[in-house]
Structure 1
Amino acid sequence: MIETVDMTVDFRATMSRLATGVSVITTCSGSTPIGMTASAVSALSLEPLQLLVCIGNQLYTRTAIAQHGRFAVNVLGEDSEHLARNFAVSRADKFAGVETFDDHGVPVLGDAIAAVVCDVAEELPGGDHTIFVGDVRHCAHRVDSRPLLYFAGGFGALRTPH
C-alpha cells in the first residue's frame, strides 16, 4: 500500500522552522484603517529602495492595498505579542486602543520598533498569495529595540548575547 503524504502540511511544518520577524501590514480602505499580522516580509533592493510583502489573496487587506496603492510595514518589538495576536484575527476594529500616526497616508503603529511606508510598485501573482513590491517612501526605527520573533507556531524573542 502506498502512503499518502500531504505536502501542504509538511511544507507548513518545515517552513515554521524558519524564524521570522513579526510585522503588521497597514493600509486604508477609504478613511478606514486596515491591518493584518504578517511574517512574509523582506527587503528587496537598495537601488531603488524596495521591499516586498506577500498577502493571501482571500484577505481583505490584499484588496485594500491594491486599491489604496500604499502600505506600511510595522515591525513589532519583543513586548508586542498582543499586537501580533490582535491583528491576526478577523474582527471589525483591530485599531481600537492602538496608537497610530498617519503622517504618510497610512496608519503607522506607535509601538512599532521600525516602520516602512511604501507605494505599490508592482503586484505579482504568487500562487494563493499576491506579492506586493513597494517603493520605500519613508522609513524609521528605534535604535535600542529588539524584535518579536515567530517560530514553530509561537512567539519568542532573541536571547541576550554574552
Structure 2
Amino acid sequence: MTETLDMTVDFRATMSRLATGVSVITTCSGSTPIGMTASAVSALSLDPLQLLVCIGNHLYTRTAIAAYGRFAVNVLGEDSEHLARNFAASKADKFAGVETFDDHGVPVLKDAIAAVVCDVAEALPGGDHTIFVGDVRHWAHKADCRPLVHFAGGFGALRAPH
C-alpha cells in the first residue's frame, strides 16, 4: 500500500512539471450553477469541432455534467488566480460575487479570456476520472490576453513573446 502511495505522489510530482492552462468548468444542476477549476482540458478535433475535459469521478461537477449534458470551459487569464482558487475550494456557493452570463444554457465567466460551450457527445471511463468529449456549440475569446498557468503546484503567467 505504501509503495502505491509513494508511486502516486511521485507520479503527481512528475506530471506537475507539465505546465498547463487553468480553466473553470461550469454546468448546471437544475437551476443551480456548478463549477470547478480544471487543468485537464484539450482541443480534440476540428472536424467535428470537439474538446475534452477530464473530471474526477468523486466530484459533484462530474455528476452534474453527466446529468445536464452541457458544460463550458472558461479559460482564465493571468490576473485570475483568485477565480482558480475560488472554484477549487470546497464551499457551497462558488459563484457568489462572480460575474457570469448565460446566453448558451450554462454559466460563462465574464472575466474568462476564452470560453467554449459544449454539449456532451461521449462520457468515457478514464481510471478515477471521466473523460467528457464535448461537441462545441459556441466559442469566444478576448484578444491580447495571456493565460493563467499552473506549474509545480503553483500559478504563474507566460512572458510576452519576443
Q: Do both share a fold (TM > 0.5)?
A: yes
Q: Give, in whole Å, the separation in 1 of the partners of 2:10 and 2:149.
A: 21
Amino acid at match of 2:30: G
- Structure 1 residue 148: deviation in Å? 0.2
Per-residue Cα deviation, 1:2-44 (whole angstroms, up to 9, x for no partner): x957210111000000000000000000000000000000000
Partner of 2:123: 123
Question: 2-side partners of 1:71 and 1:11: how far apart?
Answer: 29
Q: Deviations over 1:72-124 (max 9, x none)?
A: 00000000000000000111100000000000000000000000000000000
How far, CA to CA, are the matches of 1:33 and 1:150 in structure 2?
A: 25
Deviation at 1:160, TM superposition (A): 2.2
CA-based RMSD of the aligned residues comes to 1.1
Query: Are 1:79 and 2:79 an aligned pair?
Result: yes
Other-structure match for 1:156: 156
SS of structure 2 residue aligned to 1:14: helix
TM-score, L = length of structure 1? 0.97
Q: d(CA) in 1 for partners of 2:66 and 2:87?
A: 19
Unaligned runs of 5+ in 2: none
**Percent identity of equivalent pairs:** 89
Number of positions where the alignment pairs a residue of Structure 1 with one of Structure 2: 160
Q: Per the alignment, in what secondary structure is the counterpart of residue 136 of structure 2?
A: strand
User: Tell me, what secondary structure is at the counterpart of 2:63?
Assistant: helix
Match of 1:7 in 2: 7
Q: TM-score, normalised by structure 2?
A: 0.97
Query: What are the residue-to-residue correspondences of 1:48-67 with 2, within 5 Å?
Result: 48-67=48-67
Provide the secondary structure at the position in 2 that maps to 1:82: helix
Write out the 4+ residue segments of structure 1 that deviate beyond 3 Å after TM superposition: none
